[in-house]
Chains A and B, each alone.
Chain A
Amino acid sequence: MNNVQIKKRANKSSLPFFLKEEFKVSFIIIFVSTILLITTFTFDIVPPILNRGIQPATFPKALLVLIISLTLIVYYLSTKKPWKLEKKLPKTFYLTLLSFVLFVIISKTLDFFLAISLLSVFVSYFWGEKRIFYLLLVSIVFPIIVFIFFETILGLRFPPGIITNIYYQV
């Protein structure tokens, strides 16, 4: 097993620069910052009489230039001393991430409470919980307690949806 790991590590260090994690991370930061920097040129320009010290675009521009410059330094340093990276991400990570996407879709289209409930049972199940009692506890009992608590103590009104509408008798 050790030999396999050493072999994998050796393969990783011989990867072309654009496949290395350090490059990918630096590239994403610089790419996003550049797009945001370009956006700053579309901001309205304030006439001098209303201008408070500097134009509204100047400060974010300076910040983005700083982020890009520092990222270049970080990337340069990583070529001398590669980052210590943790193990490959497991399937449960991607499933949890997928549950977030499902949460957004369900909360937008069907129901907020249903989205919480489904995410809870989904995550709990794929993280290894198979006992029905505990699955019901995290997906139905606990969300109901939280829902009622926020609704009564904080006077919160949750967004409309198929289940929430029944509760509010809409």
Chain B
Amino acid sequence: MENLLLMMAPLFSSKLLIVLFFGTLFGLILGVLPGLGPTTGGALILPFTMTLDPLSAIVLLTSIYCAGTYGGAITAILINTPGTPAAAATCLDGYPLAQKGEAGRALGMATVSSAVGGIFSVIILVFFAPMLAKLAYEFGQPEYFALAIFGLTMLASIGEGSPIKNLIAGAFGIFISTIGKDFMTSIDRFTYGINELSEGIGFIPVVVGLFAISEMLTQSTSLDQVFKRIALKAVKLPSLNDYKLTWKTILRSSGIGSFIGVLPAEGGTVASLIGYSEAKRFSKKPEEFGKGSIEGIAGAEAANNAATGGAMVPTLALGIPGSATTAVILTGLIIHGVRPGPDLFREQPEFLYGIFGAMLISNVLFFLFGFFGAKIFARITLVPNKILWPMIFAVSVCGTYSLSQSIIDVWIMLFFGVIGFFMRRYGFSVVPVIIGLILGELVEGTLRQSLVIFDGNWLMFLSRPIVITFFILSIIALTFPLLKKKK
């Protein structure tokens, strides 16, 4: 009861309501614009959050996350281009249905299933995050090391693209975290006499570079692309018949999305693909999938939005990000001096339940915005790239500069932009780099502290049951793609 009241706190704070309103609005705009999305948007907005108190800052970031994930569906349905990668599966049936003159029905179903999936996942978050945090009390340094390794192997295994390339990208991310002064012995590593590198490479220049700048380069290669927007009269609430047809799919996909979200992977993207394929498997009319099936839209959209709450579970309970956007949120927590983990649940429940409540409200808000404003948001997609991207560049540069007021950070951002472009071109996902970067210090720190505890004896890792469990799970995660291929 007390927790429920804490969850309702954002409703009684005008400041938080304003933050929620603008966060949801901004998230929707970001989600609608192809190439942008909640991760890039979150990274761009991060410097602005320094002017806010910690709760408002995280509420802003989480509302961008929830609304941005949904926003991708609008573009997917109306112009057959997913606004975010998580909406890729929505294109498969959303656009064909819109072509049949039922864009309003398609958007209505996407809006309802997204909101249900999002709310379902917040309930999962409220119940499971404290439980996971309690479990984490048993964790010492070796357990955290094993957990971080498990997180990275999962990312390689069920993330998008080749698992080996994902592993290389993850290792590259951890490698970046080793640049600068060694945090345990203060010895310079890979600084090459450049003073600015002693502090290490910041998270923001890397994220903005890998997402925003690399996307700008990608856009420069496809300027001849012409978007054709399908006319939308109004978003329609699904009919009783549509509800009858899809309620099981929505619930199933909400469960799938929440579960996939909890696993450290590319959250919504993988969740929506699995949600979509499961919807097809259970459907009475699988032959309609790909031709405008309402179940297909519901399956994909409920799953990708359910992944938002799921991904917040390990982020808040363990400090292990469940997706790229939660890695940005985790950075937001850290720069505001909030350390996620079990202590946070014990010491600052009002902070945590405030976030849960804000996520819940954000899901309701984007539902309303989606219904009444989808037509306006759809127009945003028509802003030409030749005007939009130079503007995004200006914001990226100023935002990156603002955190440390260092021009070197801006150059690092551009450098990672180029790296990110070529990584994507050759099939390396950039998400593992981000997760690797944020987990890097944890992996190295816990490994070294464990070895101090074990007096340098590596075999002692195998004397801890939780560590063994995580190692076995990591091996399964690594061999899973190979077994799947053989099948």
Contacts of A77 in B (CB 8 A): 164
A25 to B423 CA separation, bound complex (whole angstroms): 10
Quick one: which of B48, B174, B450 contacts A153, CB cutoff 8 A?
B48
Query: Given the known A-B contacts A71-B168, A128-B223, are A52 and B187 also in contact in the complex, defined by CB atoms under 8 Å?
Result: no
A73 to B482 CA separation, bound complex (whole angstroms): 14
**A-facing residues in B151-207 (Cβ within 8 Å):** 162, 164-165, 167-168, 171-172, 174-175, 178, 182, 184-185, 187-190
Contacts of B469 in A (CB 8 A): none
Instruction: Select from chain A the residue with minimum beta-carbon distance to B451.
Output: A53
A123 to B388 CA separation, bound complex (whole angstroms): 11
Instruction: Select from chain A the residue with minimum beta-carbon distance to B410.
Output: A107
Tell me which of B29-37, B227-235, B332-340, B399-407 binds A. B399-407
Whether B394 contacts A120 by the Cβ 8 Å rule is yes
Q: How many residues of A contact B (CB 8 A)?
A: 69
Instruction: Return A8 CB to nearest CB of chain B, in Å.
Output: 18
Residue B483 is within 8 A (CB to CB) of chain A in the complex: no
**A-facing residues in B219-256 (Cβ within 8 Å):** 220-221, 223
Whether B164 contacts A70 by the Cβ 8 Å rule is yes
Tell me which of B63-71, B299-307, B314-322, B379-387 binds A. B379-387
- Residues of A whose CB lies within 8 Å of any CB of B are 21, 25, 29, 36, 39-40, 43-44, 46, 50-54, 56-57, 59-60, 63-64, 66-67, 70-71, 73-74, 77, 83-87, 89-90, 92-93, 95-97, 100, 103-104, 107-108, 112, 116, 119-121, 123-124, 127-129, 134, 137-139, 142-143, 146-147, 150, 153-154, 156-159
Given contacts A52-B448, A52-B452, 6 further A-B contacts (CB under 8 A): A46-B187, A53-B456, A56-B187, A74-B165, A156-B398, A156-B402
The 3 closest A-B pairs by CB, nearest first: A53-B451, A53-B448, A120-B390
- Residues of B whose CB lies within 8 Å of any CB of A are 47-48, 50-51, 162, 164-165, 167-168, 171-172, 174-175, 178, 182, 184-185, 187-190, 216-217, 220-221, 223, 384-387, 389-391, 393-395, 397-399, 401-402, 405, 407, 410-411, 414, 417-418, 422, 425-427, 444, 447-452, 456
